[in-house]
């Protein structure tokens, strides 16, 4: 999350756990979509 959103580690840890999990899942989906597009899939 810190890499993609440019947030500090402390800011990420301040999030409630379910919120952090949802954000990580969404970042993963976006990353997968971008990787698939770049691979020509």
Q: Is 12 in contact with 2 (CB distance < 8 Å)?
A: yes
Residue 4: its pLDDT value, please? 80
Question: Mind listing the pLDDT tens digit for each residue in 1-41?
Answer: 888 889 999 999 999 999 999 999 999 999 999 999 998 86
Answer whether 0.75 is exceeded by the pTM: no
Query: How far apart, in whole angstroms, are the C-alpha atoms of residue 9 and residue 40?
Result: 34
Q: How far lies 34's CA from each of 28, 38, 39, in Å?
A: 10, 6, 9
Q: Is 22 in contact with 28 (CB distance < 8 Å)?
A: no
Residue 1: its pLDDT value, please? 82
Q: Is 1 in contact with 27 (CB distance < 8 Å)?
A: yes
Residue 23: its pLDDT value, please? 94
Query: How far apart, in whole angstroms, are the C-alpha atoms of residue 41 and residue 38?
Result: 8
């Amino acid at each position: 999350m810190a890499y993609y959103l440019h947030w500090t580690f402390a800011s990420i840890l301040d999030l409630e756990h379910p919120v952090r999990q949802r954000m990580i899942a969404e970042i993963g989906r976006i990353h997968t979509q971008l990787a698939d597009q770049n691979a020509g899939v």
